């Protein structure tokens, strides 16, 4: 999972390691949803129109391997699983909040620049 395991990890490398764990088209949405509550797989998929079952499964498995998400089998007949954040996963809350704030500010600055260019 770690891309830079052979490097002397300075600050930049540490940031890359973090981004490697949460990088993925759907991981940000999954993490944000799981901050609110635990979800069954189908509930998660319904919250993310456009994601395929294969891709969502892959992203959840990567988060599970990283120790961020826990998968729990609820029942065997019918088969159902739920996903929730681990204690480690919950520590991402301030990181996700900062990313959201940065995105809002970046969007505001970008729209300001586009207005000035017109």
Tell me if 64 is assigned to some domain.
yes
**pLDDT tens sequence across 10-52:** 655 778 888 888 888 899 999 999 999 999 999 999 999 999 9
Residue 96 lies in a domain: yes
In a domain, 4, yes or no: no
Number of neighbouring beta carbons within 10 Å of residue 63: 24
CA gap 25, 55 in Å, rounded: 9
The pTM assigned to this predicted structure is 0.78
Kindly state whether residue 77 falls inside one of the protein's structural domains: yes
In a domain, 14, yes or no: no
Inter-CA distances, 41 with 18, 37, 44, 85, Å: 25, 13, 5, 14
Neighbours of 96 (CB within 10 A): 14
* 43 vs 27: CA distance, rounded Å: 15
Residue 3 lies in a domain: no
For the cut 70, the answer to whether the pLDDT of residue 2 exceeds it is no
**Total tally of structural domains belonging to the chain:** 1
pLDDT of residue 16: 81
Domain range for 51: 26-117
Q: What number is the average pLDDT over the span 66-86?
A: 93
CATH number of the structural domain spanning residue 49:
1.10.10.10
Region 95-102: mean pLDDT is 91
Mean pLDDT of 56-66: 96
> Which residues are within 8 A (CB) of 32 and not within 5 positions of it... i.e. 6 or more apart?
96
Please check whether residue 11 lies inside any domain of the structure: no
Which strand (E) or helix (H) includes residue 78? none
Is residue 102 in some structural domain?
yes
Determine contact, residues 47/105, Cβ cutoff 8 Å. no
């Amino acid at each position: 999972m770690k891309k830079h395991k052979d490097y002397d990890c300075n600050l930049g490398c540490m940031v890359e390691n973090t981004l490697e764990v949460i990088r993925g088209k759907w991981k940000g949405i999954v993490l944000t949803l799981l901050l609110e509550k635990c979800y069954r797989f189908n509930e998660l998929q319904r919250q993310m129109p456009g994601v395929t079952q294969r891709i969502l499964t892959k992203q959840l498995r990567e988060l599970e391997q990283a120790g961020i998400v826990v998968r729990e089998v609820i029942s065997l007949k019918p088969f159902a699983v739920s996903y929730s954040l681990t204690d480690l996963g919950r520590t991402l809350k301030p990181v996700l909040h900062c990313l959201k704030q940065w995105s809002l500010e970046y969007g505001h600055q970008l729209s300001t620049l586009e207005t000035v260019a017109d």
